[in-house]
Amino acid sequence: FMRQSIQARAEAVARTEFLSNMSHDIRTPLNAIIGMTAIAGANIGDTNRVKDCLSKIASSGKHLLSLINEILDVSKIESGRIELSEEPFDLSVMLKDLVDINRPQADAKRQKVIIRVKDIVHEEVIGDHVRLQQIYTNLVSNAIKYTPEGGTIDITLEEKNAGSAKIAQYDFTVKDNGIGIPKEAQTSVFERFYRVDKSRSKQTGGTGLGLSIVKHGAQVHHAQIAMQSALGEGTTITLTFPAQSSGKK
């Protein structure tokens, strides 16, 4: 009886947690879709503009659909066993989609978003596109959220041991010049529900789950996370991850 009630409670906690995770992840592409629809509506006579919006709506929609497909597989998530898919995808396409999804939030705060792709030899890798994009989106949306108006978000993707054969190493870095994270909180921010302080939480909203998703995702991808942050100066988070090259360049 005892064991059963503990299990039931754990399940209830997992379900609540799961719903909160998802509200965080669904909001970003949905905001992009709504934003792009408004831009297209305001520029209905400008064919190129409308075409551009439609393609962004399509990529956000695709991302959302993949997320929802994952969500519907609740049993897997509740049992803690999420299988990673292994499909070839193009890293620079993913980076472009990622920026398209987050751009409306950055534009709304008049932030500059700089993207740099360095030394990429193997562009097509084999891995779980949706999960990787979910991790990156959390990092980029945090950078936007915790950087004041007019700030700068630097996104870099770099291949480390470029040239080596099957497993390539990549550094994905998101750098902002925002409010920063105090030293004593730099480990805790990766815990579930942890938020730095009430005053900043009130302004931004959020669940305290974004970085725990990043941490979990990094673990399953055998990625390393490095954080550098100073209060009032900004935050840099680098994810170093191995990925199998598809063989195509």
Q: Is 189 in the site for ligand ADP (CB under 6 A)?
A: yes
At how many degrees (to 10) do helices 129-145 and 210-220 cross?
150
Provide the minimum distance between the beta carbon of 5 and ligand ADP in the complex, in angstroms, as a whole number. Answer: 30
According to the binding rule CB under 6 A, does residue 179 interact with ligand ADP? yes
Regarding 134 and contact with ligand ADP (CB under 6 A), the answer is no
CA 22 to chain centre: 12
Contact status: 104 vs ligand ADP (CB under 6 A)? no
Residue 243 DSSP SS3 = strand
Binding ligand ADP by CB under 6 A: which of 67, 91, 211, 243? 211
Which is it for strands 87-90 and 224-230: parallel, antiparallel or unpaired? unpaired
Residues 21-40 that bind ligand ADP (CB under 6 A): none
Residues in contact with ligand ADP, counted by CB under 6 A, come to a total of 22
CB 37 → ligand ADP: shortest distance, Å? 25
Our CB check for ligand ADP shows the closer of 36 and 179 to be: 179
Stretch in the footprint of ligand ADP (CB under 6 A) among 25-33, 65-73, 161-169, 196-204: 196-204
Which letter, b or e, does each residue of 178-191 get, where b requires 16 or more Cβ atoms within 10 Å of its Cβ? bbbbeeeeeeebbe
Q: Give the residue with the Cβ less far from ligand ADP, 136 or 146.
A: 146
Closest contact distance (angstroms) between CB of 206 and ligand ADP is 3
Site for ligand ADP, rule CB under 6 A: 142-143, 146, 176, 178-181, 189, 194-196, 200-201, 206-212, 235
